[in-house]
């Protein structure tokens, strides 16, 4: 028995692994507070669900064009123009089974073996793996609290080689919640033009920004920048639609055509039913997004305050977007809890899960082993319960 080199080189998503262990404990009847999830706790808004049901009863249950229905792609074009100042034609949009597949497609059509992609750490767990699956080489730029978890051209320059093909961006960021300002993005855009690099920008959390912060789409700066950018977005986070699997890209036609062809030979495109629901999400009332955003903001502030009171834990940079807190826990390393020595964030996450029955994600999977990721896509009651448990467990650390 033998697996391909590609399969052997692959590591499973660590967030999915924690989630599986948590769900297994829950299935055994253990009451676990789950701060590891990367999905909104809210239900999909009713009008979107109804659109999906109607799609089934009306028989919209057949193959669609591989790139998605024209109706949905037109709705996406209107959204991009209105929200992001981006003018695209429907043939430049490719709808996929979640933004995760959109990102996968993007790297597949951009990279030749050995091509390098600039990725900042802490990163969303899947970027390096997706780059590797496309034969590319992830080149990681370390960021930390002192630079607000953001990279600058000066940090990238020493890592440039003749093989550098693209810069990967994720603002607002999962896991840090960092949001790049217009100026910071402009500097990166100019750098990409200067060095003839592509930009793959993951804007999944654009709707979830706090404290008056504004999300900017890097492709909106100029035609020159837009021509080298693949913008990735989707329905999962903004509309609480993770299970519907709806994501999309906007790019120059040459890349869109290649991604659509890739889909035509691999998945045949996304679910027809989900596409009807996604269209309704985009053209229907947008109020549910704001209701969720405000609730996330309330939890963000409360959770941050409580985490910062735990000795050795520190959210040094307040997140301005997404729904995660990413405290540093390195001051806990070397301490002992219930006879177990904590040397890494993996150790700490394991002790918290087993002894306090709270699921969190260690930073190692995000390329940031001194940190732990908390999701606040959980009700305020569960947030209180989980933090009570962690607080009392951490009092035993010595
Ligand atoms: C959740 C997430 C995605 C993918 O979401 P889909 O459900 O596949 O649309 C992509 N990027 C980031 C940063 C995410 O957190």
- Would 5-43+288-394 and 47-283 be classified into the same CATH topology? no
Q: Is the pLDDT of residue 15 over 70?
A: no
- Position with higher pLDDT, 1 vs 120: 120
Q: Is the pLDDT of residue 16 over 80?
A: no
Residue 197 to residue 189: CA distance in whole angstroms: 9
Mean pLDDT of 86-95: 98
pLDDT band per the 50, 70, 90 thresholds, residue 11: confident
- In this structure, of 4-18, 118-132, 342-356, the range with the lowest mean pLDDT score is 4-18
Whether the Cβ atoms of residue 294 and residue 372 lie closer than 8 Å to each other? no
Mean pLDDT of 268-294: 96
* CB atoms near residue 57 (< 10 Å): 8
Residue 170 alpha carbon, nearest atom of ligand 1: 13
| pLDDT computed for residue 21 by the predictor | 81
Mutual angle of helices 345-356 and 380-394, in 10-degree steps: 110
Ligand 1 near 204 CB (within 6 A): yes
Class of domain 5-43+288-394: alpha beta
- In this structure, of 18-22, 131-135, 158-162, 380-384, the range with the lowest mean pLDDT score is 18-22
- The backbone torsions φ and ψ at residue 96, rounded to the nearest 5 degrees and listed phi first, read -135, 175
Q: Is the pLDDT of residue 398 over 80?
A: yes
| pLDDT computed for residue 19 by the predictor | 74
Residue 103 alpha carbon, nearest atom of ligand 1: 10
| pLDDT computed for residue 127 by the predictor | 97
Compute, in angstroms, the gap from residue 204 CA to the centroid of ligand 1: 6
Residue 124 alpha carbon, nearest atom of ligand 1: 13
Q: What angle do CA 385, 27, 10 make, to 5 degrees?
A: 95
Pocket test for ligand 1, best of 15, 124, 205 (most atoms within 8 A of CB): 124
Distances from the Cα of 267 to the Cα of 264, 271, 393, angstroms: 6, 10, 47
* CB atoms near residue 221 (< 10 Å): 19
Whether the Cβ atoms of residue 327 and residue 315 lie closer than 8 Å to each other? yes
Mean pLDDT of 335-360: 94
Q: Is the pLDDT of residue 29 over 90?
A: yes
**Tens of pLDDT, residues 144-159:** 999 999 999 999 999 9
Taking CA atoms only, the protein residue closest to ligand 1 atom 13 is 174
Compute, in angstroms, the gap from residue 232 CA to the centroid of ligand 1: 9
Parallel, antiparallel or unpaired: strands 361-362 and 372-375: antiparallel
pLDDT averaged over every residue in the chain = 95
- In this structure, of 1-5, 200-204, 302-306, 337-341, the range with the lowest mean pLDDT score is 1-5
Handedness of CA 216, 219, 222, 225 (dihedral sign): positive
Residue 235 alpha carbon, nearest atom of ligand 1: 9
pLDDT band per the 50, 70, 90 thresholds, residue 18: confident
Pocket test for ligand 1, best of 100, 102, 206, 324 (most atoms within 8 A of CB): 100
Residues in the chain: 398
| pLDDT computed for residue 6 by the predictor | 86
Q: Is 135 left (phi over 0), alpha (psi -120 to 50) or beta?
A: left
Right CATH for 47-283 from 3.90.700.10, 3.30.390.50, 3.40.630.30, 3.40.640.10 = 3.40.640.10
Closest CA to 310 of 356, 378, 365, 377: 356
Q: Is the pLDDT of residue 37 over 90?
A: no
Domain ranges for the chain: 5-43+288-394, 47-283
- Tokens (6 digits) for 137: 């080489």
pLDDT band per the 50, 70, 90 thresholds, residue 7: confident
**Tens of pLDDT, residues 363-389:** 998 999 999 999 999 999 999 999 999
Ligand 1 near 248 CB (within 6 A): no
Cβ neighbors of 33 (< 8 A, separation 6 or more) are 357, 358, 359, 378, 382, 385, 386, 389
| pLDDT computed for residue 14 by the predictor | 64
Residue 122 to residue 14: CA distance in whole angstroms: 14
């Amino acid at each position: 028995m033998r697996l391909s080199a590609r399969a052997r080189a692959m590591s499973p998503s660590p967030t999915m692994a924690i989630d599986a262990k948590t769900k297994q404990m829950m299935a055994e009847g253990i009451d676990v507070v789950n701060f590891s999830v990367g999905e909104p706790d809210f239900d999909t808004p009713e009008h979107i669900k109804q659109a999906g049901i109607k799609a089934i009863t009306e028989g919209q249950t057949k193959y669609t064009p591989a790139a998605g229905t024209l109706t949905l792609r037109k709705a996406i074009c209107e959204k991009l123009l209105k929200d992001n100042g981006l003018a695209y034609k429907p043939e430049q949009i490719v709808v996929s089974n979640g933004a995760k597949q959109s990102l996968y497609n993007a790297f597949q059509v951009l990279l030749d073996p050995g091509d390098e992609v600039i990725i900042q750490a802490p990163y969303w767990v899947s970027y390096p793996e997706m780059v590797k699956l496309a034969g590319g080489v992830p080149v990681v730029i370390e960021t930390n609290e002192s630079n607000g978890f953001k990279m600058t051209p000066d940090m990238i320059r020493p890592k440039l080689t003749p093989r550098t093909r693209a810069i990967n961006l994720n603002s607002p960021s999962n896991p840090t919640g960092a949001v790049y300002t217009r100026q910071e993005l402009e500097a990166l855009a100019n750098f990409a033009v200067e060095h003839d690099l592509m930009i793959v920008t993951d804007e999944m959390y654009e709707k979830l920004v706090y404290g008056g912060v504004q999300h900017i789409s890097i492709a909106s700066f100029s035609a020159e920048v837009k021509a080298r950018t693949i913008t990735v977005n989707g329905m999962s986070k903004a509309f609480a639609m993770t299970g519907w699997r709806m994501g999309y890209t906007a790019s120059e036609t040459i890349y869109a055509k290649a991604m659509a062809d890739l889909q035509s030979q691999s998945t045949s495109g996304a679910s027809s039913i989900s596409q009807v629901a996604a269209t309704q999400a985009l053209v229907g009332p947008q109020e549910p997004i704001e209701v969720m955003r405000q609730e996330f903001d309330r939890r963000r502030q409360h959770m941050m305050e409580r985490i910062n009171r735990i000795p050795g834990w520190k959210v040094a940079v307040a997140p301005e977007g997404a729904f995660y807190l990413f405290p540093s826990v390195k001051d806990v390393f070397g301490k002992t809890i219930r006879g177990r020595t904590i040397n890494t964030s993996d150790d700490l996450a394991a002790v918290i899960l087993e002894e306090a029955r709270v699921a969190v994600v260690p930073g190692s999977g995000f390329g940031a082993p001194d940190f732990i990721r908390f999701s606040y896509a959980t009700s305020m009651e569960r947030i209180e319960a989980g933090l009570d448990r962690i607080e009392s467990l951490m009092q035993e650390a010595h």
